[in-house]
Amino acid sequence: MFPPKDRLTICFAHVAYQLQERFLPRQTAIHSFGVRTPDEFARRIGEADVVVVSGLWRNDLLDRAQRLRFIQSIGAGTDQFDRGQLTARGIRLASAQGVNVRAVSEHAMALILALTRKLAEARDNQAKHVWRGMISDTAQREDELGGKTLLIIGLGGIGSRLAQLAKAFGLRVIGIKRNPATGGEAADSVHGLADLKTLLPQADFVALTCPLTKETEKVIDADAFSRMKKPAYLVNAARGQCVDELALIKALQDQMIAGAAIDVVAEEPLPAASPLWDFSNVLITPHTAGETRKYEDNVLDILMENLNRLARGETSLRNQIV
């Protein structure tokens, strides 16, 4: 049986998000506490019936979590959780899928615009007090989006909204989806992943908004880069492991593509020695695509819906994983 609200304890575990601070004004009468560090989380997880967590999670914490009955992931991704162990221990898991559809799609569109309009270069010149002159070489100028082609890998909530935004800028949108027969209305055409190789040469921008799965791990690899247009850009707002990072570095070094904008990398934080820091045609944001001023409240809305379902004895959760 799931504990009643007056006997429930929630642990909010995140290094920065103000989850408990935004939870308390809801006056739910549910006891809660927050932790900010791995050590504090490990020390106190045994007090919690519910954990709201993402990056601080480690599967070895389960041995300390005797009371734990439900994990609400703070993010859409849940690959850090051992589903087999959770199932064996009777611990439910739900993702926060959909919590950042607007934020990530807008961020991806912003990256596309920044690459096209060379905003990173303009900011660098501003810092150096350089007023760049007019450019004779047309290939080196800022560009326009109208009439270009955007290939979106992952046409779920985020990818579909990105498609809508892109269409407003006059882009032709090609979508790649696990099941191309459903939910592809926002794109001009929708295909399965098997068609990726033939679609890559058509794209001026390749945007990743897919979950990390066995099929999407390193879906953009050396072969994919060899098929992309030389003036094409890669935009990754999915997971770092969806791109073969060594292949990306090689493609940039060999000028096989025009550049990249990446919100995620294979190892986060990006190591100081990574060559990605030093490419002038690479724009890096530190996994902030989904982070907005409303993020905590959006997560808490999903949490409260799932807590109410559990309290009613329902077996189905919103964004249920386990």
- Point out the residues that are catalytic: 239, 268, 287
3-state secondary structure 103-128: HHHHHHHHHHHHHHHCHHHHHHHHHC
| Spatial CA neighbour of 270 closest among 13, 257, 279 | 279
For residue 114, what are the CA distances in angstroms to 164, 207, 280? 18, 14, 13
DSSP state of 62: G
> 163 and 187 in contact (C-beta within 8 Å)?
yes
Beta bridge partners of 174: 151, 189
* Distance, CA of 171 to CA of 95 (rounded, Å): 32
Report residue 45 as tokens.
Answer: 């997880």
